[in-house]
Amino acid sequence: MKKIILALSASFILAACAPEVGSEKWCAQLKEKPKGDWTATEAKDYAKHCLFK
């Protein structure tokens, strides 16, 4: 039970550190990431939120 609680706590902490998808910070962060490392979802979200505002 302790392992489950620890894993859930860690996932909440790590999720809170990432900028919100579509925010200016997220767009800038993704722009710096090599395009070959983008996932299909990231590419779609980048186009939707950062290019076609």
- For the chain, the 3-state helix, strand and coil shares in percent, each to the nearest 5, are 75, 0, 25
pLDDT recorded at residue 10? 67
Convert the pLDDT of each residue in 1-53 to its tens digit: 888 877 777 666 766 678 899 999 999 999 999 999 999 999 999 999 999 97
Assess contact for 47 and 35: CB atoms under 8 A.
Answer: no
* 0.85 surpassed by pTM: no
Q: To which residue do tokens 């395009």 refer?
A: 35
Q: What are phi and psi of 8, to 5 degrees?
A: -65, -40
Cα–Cα dist 20/27, whole Å: 9
What does the block give as tokens for 51?
Answer: 């290019």
